[in-house]
Amino acid sequence: MKERVLITDKLDPACAQLLRQSGYEVDDETGRSAEQLQDAADGAVGWIVRSGTQITPELINAAPALRVIGRAGVGVDNIDLTEATRRGVVVINAPEGNTVSTAEHACAMMLSLARRIPEANRSMRDGEWDRKRFVGTELYGKTLGIVGVGRVGRNVAERMSGFGMRVLGADPVVSPDVAKESGVELVTVDELVAQADVISLHAPLTSSTTGMFDAELLGKCREGVLIVNCARGGLIDESALFDALESGHVGGAGLDVYSNEPVGESLRALIGRPDVVCTPHIAASTAEAQQKVAVQVTEQVVRGLRGEPVATPVNASAIRLSSRPEVKPFVSLAETLGRIVARLNAPHAIKRVTVCGAGDIPRTAREVLTVGALAGVLGELLDDRVNLVNAEALADEAGLPVHSDSVSTAENFHHFVEVLLDTDGGPRSIRGAMFGDSDARIVALDGYEMELRPAGTLLFYRNVDRPGMLAAVGAVVAEANVNIGAMVLGRKDPGSPALTVMRLDEPLDARELARLGGIEGLEDVRQVNI
């Protein structure tokens, strides 16, 4: 009797065809209710979905024979990874299938803006013949700035280099050598916007990148710059973009993604502008991309069902190891430390990551400390798709050097975990320790000794060590009606600059953070949500 594989979202026919050719029975009915899915799951050995089916713990437990789940795409937030891992079910995704399609769409946006093709097309359809009105600009010899030099960004660079463009890139993780292979010269974001005639966004949406192209950064761009966003809508402050287009400082925008989708009335004025080329989040929507994703995930599912190694596992040995009671607290601590130090380091580029475990950390925990820390660092800089399985592979792809260290003694503690970043803004480090089985604490930051639980909203700032500084900060926080739950002050010597960390009951908004940044004697104000 043939083993059965479920397909419960609409996929390219290549998926079912490949499964049948591999000797499996295919159940590809879509649109089932939760009850119908439970019935169908019983007896299935494999399950392939897109984003429509929510594979809950209940559904996983309704499928006692299930061995592999495949996600045709990148994100796996519709699959309960914890339950799948507990059950020993391998979860696989298809992260590369839409790379070329998205890159080509971004290039098409640039050409459409530069040559004003959509406007000219509309004019012709209206019966006009106005050649003077649609004088465009050549991309040859111009400078392209790519924010986010990952797979898609590098594909864009390679294609637009063929148009004779000089290509700059900004990325906090990718190494200069990896960027150079695609013809990209790495610079800072500020250097990029100051030089680029065209800017294409390919960064993930994180706490560091949300709203990064705000009025201030748009104001630093070259007059008449063209901006293309086929990545995430939240990267651009759309109100600020409208104002910059209105003033003429930004010459045009190509948008495939938006802060709210489907687009509502609040964005009608923006997308209705003649200098905006807009599409409804279709950069990855090509027949070829859909087929590539379907084939990629199906091939991996078949390999997984046969007990062969798979190329794109989302959960595997690192996740299973980290779930052990004696390991989980240390891995969680390492990931939290990595996330915090990466957030504090932004926007500086990271040149090297070093993870150190000291003292009486269990041997099994030491094996995954580096992976945990990397998942935190890259999760903050890239996005939530980073996990314990793919963190090392993503670092390797970016050319980011990663080192592990282990020492037997831990100075004043039984043990500690330390994450150190070598960056273009100088070294950054954070150290943490476990007190008991579940009490994680930061015990040092950039050489400042302290003790604070990394939970909730943490406010970090450096200040001149003089009377009145705490009162000035406290006044702003109090006016925001936010309570301070805990606070630590670290200083190396009396009179030297101090480092203060507050744990707040709720986050401060951007306006209040700006007020703190304006206090004389305060600098490097950062807010991190754990």
Phi then psi for residue 316, to 5 deg, are -160, -150
Mean pLDDT of the chain: 91
Topology adopted by domain 457-530: Alpha-Beta Plaits (3.30.70)
At 162-183, the pLDDT tens digits run 999 999 999 999 999 999 999 9
Domain 99-278: top CATH class = alpha beta
Residues marked active site are found at: 232, 261, 281
Residues 316-322: contacts with CB under 8 Å, at least 24 apart: 316/90, 316/389, 318/368, 318/371, 318/388, 318/389, 319/81, 319/85, 319/387, 319/388, 319/389, 320/85, 320/88, 321/364, 321/367, 321/368, 322/368, 322/372, 322/388
**Distance between the two ends of the chain, CA-based, in angstroms?**
50
The residue behind tokens 């995430």 is 232
- Residue in the structure block whose two tokens are 């604070």: 452
Rounded average pLDDT over 258-278: 94
Q: pLDDT tens digits, residue range 258-267?
A: 999 999 999 9
Predicted pLDDT of residue 275: 96
Sign for the CA dihedral angle at 355, 358, 361, 363 comes to: positive
Q: Residue 307's pLDDT band (boundaries 50, 70, 90)?
A: confident
Contact criterion met (CB below 8 Å) for 199 and 423: no
Residue-by-residue DSSP string for 370-409: HHHHHHHHHHHHS-TT--TTTHHHHHHHTT--EEEEEES-
Instruction: Using CB atoms within 10 Å of the CB of residue 118, give its burial: 0 to 12 exposed, 13 to 18 middle, 19+ buried.
Output: middle
Q: Return the axis-axis angle of helices 328-345 and 363-381, rounded to nearest 10°.
A: 30
Looking at residue 392, what is its pLDDT?
83
Cβ–Cβ under 8 Å, residues 384 and 210: no
Average pLDDT in the 406-414 region?
A: 74
SS3 166: strand
Cβ-contact 5, 49 below 8 angstroms: no
Band of residue 195 on the pLDDT scale cut at 50, 70, 90: very high
Instruction: Considering the chain, tell me which residue range(s) the CATH 3.40.50.720 domain(s) occupy.
Output: 4-96+289-314, 99-278
Region 97-126: mean pLDDT is 95
State which amino acid sits at residue 265. E
User: Within the chain, which residue ranges are assigned CATH 3.30.1330.90?
Assistant: 316-454
- Over residues 444-472, the pLDDT tens digits come to 999 999 999 999 999 999 999 888 999 99
**316-454: CATH number:** 3.30.1330.90
Chosen CATH of 4-96+289-314 out of 3.90.470.20, 3.40.50.720, 3.40.50.150, 3.40.50.300: 3.40.50.720
Provide CATH 3.30.70.260 ranges for the chain: 457-530
pLDDT confidence bin for 345, thresholds 50/70/90: very high
